[in-house]
Amino acid sequence: MQTPEKLQQMYDMLYELGYQDQELQKKIDAVNSISVLFLVDVTGSMAGEIQSIKNQITALMQNIAEVINPSCPKFAFIGYRDINDAKRFEIFKAPSEEPIYFTEEPWEVINFLETVQATGGDDTPEDINGALVQALALPWDSRVRVIFHVFDAPPHGSIYHDCKDNFPTGGPDDRPLVDIFTEMKAKRIDYYMVPVRAELPKMLDHFNEAHKTACGRDLRANTFNVKNFDNHLIELVIKSIELSITGSNTEYLDRPLHRGPPSWNPAHCTRYGGTIKSKKNERPKEVNVEIMNDPFGSGSMRHAFYCRVLSGWGDPAKVYVAKQWKAISNSNPTNRCWEQVNCHNKMTELLEKFNRAAGEHLRCVPLYCLTVNDRDRTTYTLEEYIPGAFMKHNNNYNFVNRTALRENPRNELFQTFPHFCWVVTEGAEMTIDIQGVDDNLTDPCIHTQQRQVGYGIGNLGKPGMLAFLSAHTCNNYCKKLNLPEFIPRGSASGS
């Protein structure tokens, strides 16, 4: 472990050099402005759900503020009813001389929510089109922009439903849905749907088609059950931030998601020959695999497919995960795969040191580069499928999963590991973005002092190191390993 003098030099390096990467820091500073709009149906049919939804929104705002701190996220709220209702919209405005629709004070929106009652509505459909137009009219001036739309009824227009509708051809002022999504894309707004009722297939299908036409993206991956939507939305905000920090421009491939366990029915999967290796300069092994045609998961940058190995390598009895990079501007998918393999290999190396020091048995799931003999010579990363509850403990900036820390003190271990990496490498490297199932970890990022090539767009260098250490609170594992507490300069305890 380092001497106090050496550690002080390392901390001083972060203070003095951590913000000299001007191009990257400009992107990170821009993320300090995050706008989140809650767009909610507040008609009478929502009376049985409205208080629960208010409670979830309140908790979600507080959690976002905690997670994104010190980035000062901004919040807005629009409640909507029907076209002929006396109070068609309930739009939050902060108390000020000039109207302010986005506020950095969650309590202002919370107080406003208490005044909103679920009333009105005539026929079954509601004025969703008008609500979306109101949402687009807000002053969206942040880099990260998110709409969470909570509803229990379709919009006007018989193409969206089979129920009574006073405006079967749509509202008199309705805009084409494709135009709305096109403007949403131009304004870089991420739109997520949270239906209260599941039986809205015609609406969801038409919204999905319009969104794909305008944005090239399947909207079904952006749809969540209201009963647990707050468990997903924090992660979505974090993903939006990560994409903004890295500056990646994701062009989403149109892929429906496979639901349920893997199916090796020939109609659902394709067999390939190919090669596999764990290091770029090693001799590849010939392999035959079977990969499902539709992914079972889709993140901000990659699709995840069930895969099994038929011969040549691995265990035919095991299920594997093949991850394919989406089309990202100025990006070579094969290089991205090798960068992720490099991150796994570096994490494995540092975990060996950490486990010896801490007496633990954390494991980085081995990662391989698989190239199949299809027309495009598609490259995947391949890893063993680990069943169980997946958990993200931190990201590659300043997110720390404090809910996980409250639920299980042992989760402190996963916050200690990046701190340990930074100290044991004398400030040269930090393994971050710790996530996985139990002690099986996957998909890390590596920050390096000079942002060396080979570790991908998640490598934020010294600014990323400083962001994590500033958000990290030393715990019992840090004390056990004699890791010094990081005290941000200018704090009550710092110099």
List, for residues 3-29, the tens digit of each pLDDT value.
Answer: 555 555 555 555 454 444 555 555 555
Q: Around Cβ 173, how many Cβ atoms within 10 Å?
A: 10
Helices 461-471 & 4-17 angle (0-180, nearest 10): 120
Stretch(es) of the chain classified as CATH 3.20.200.10:
4-13+391-480
* pTM of this prediction exceeds 0.75: no
- Give the CA distances from residue 398 to residues 136, 211, 266, in Å, rounded to whole numbers and listed in that order: 29, 32, 44
Stretch(es) of the chain classified as CATH 3.30.200.20:
269-384
Residue 107 has pLDDT above 70, yes or no: yes
Per-residue pLDDT, averaged over 378-385, amounts to 94
Class of domain 31-247: alpha beta
pLDDT value of position 76? 92
**Residue 395 token pair:** 């990201």
Amino acid at the residue 465: M
Q: Report the CATH fold assignment for 269-384.
A: Phosphorylase Kinase; domain 1 (3.30.200)
Stretch(es) of the chain classified as CATH 3.40.50.410:
31-247
pLDDT value of position 78? 95
Per-residue pLDDT, averaged over 405-426, amounts to 93
- Give the CA distances from residue 32 to residues 29, 215, 479, in Å, rounded to whole numbers and listed in that order: 5, 26, 32
pLDDT value of position 125? 92
Residue 416 makes CB contacts below 8 A (sequence gap 6+) with: 358, 475, 477, 478, 481, 483
pLDDT value of position 492? 44
What is the rounded distance in angstroms from the CA atom of residue 240 to the CA atom of residue 364?
Answer: 25
What is the rounded distance in angstroms from the CA atom of residue 331 to the CA atom of residue 32?
Answer: 26
Q: Which residue has the higher pLDDT, 185 or 491?
A: 185
Q: Around Cβ 59, how many Cβ atoms within 10 Å?
A: 11
* Contact by Cβ (8 Å): 288, 271: yes
What is the rounded distance in angstroms from the CA atom of residue 173 to the CA atom of residue 129?
Answer: 9
Residue 309 has pLDDT above 50, yes or no: yes
Residue 413 has pLDDT above 60, yes or no: yes
- Strand blocks (E) in 345-478: 363-364, 368-372, 379-384, 390-392, 429-432, 435-437, 440-441, 445-448
- The pLDDT confidence band at residue 73, using thresholds 50, 70 and 90, is confident
Q: In 3-state terms, what secondary structure has residue 417?
A: helix
Nearest in space to 418 (alpha carbons), one of 439, 433, 403, 428? 433
- Strand blocks (E) in 42-159: 74-80, 89-91, 144-151
pLDDT value of position 33? 67
CATH number for region 4-13+391-480: 3.20.200.10
pLDDT value of position 173? 92
Task: Identify whether 70 is preceded by a cis peptide bond (ω within 30 of 0).
Answer: yes
Query: Which pLDDT tens digit goes with each residue over 24-62?
Result: 555 555 545 678 899 999 998 888 777 878 777 777 776
Residue 360 has pLDDT above 60, yes or no: yes
Under DSSP, the state recorded for 103 is: B
- The pLDDT confidence band at residue 232, using thresholds 50, 70 and 90, is low
Percent of the chain at pLDDT exceeding 70 = 80
**Residue 58 token pair:** 């309140």
Residue 225 has pLDDT above 70, yes or no: no
Backbone angles phi, psi at 6, to 5 degrees: -65, -40
Cα R_g (the chain), whole angstroms: 24
Residue 489 has pLDDT above 70, yes or no: no
First-to-final CA distance of the chain: 23
Residue 326 has pLDDT above 80, yes or no: no
Amino acid at the residue 208: N
Amino acid at the residue 439: D
What is the rounded distance in angstroms from the CA atom of residue 441 to the CA atom of residue 386?
Answer: 10
Percent of the chain at pLDDT exceeding 90 = 43
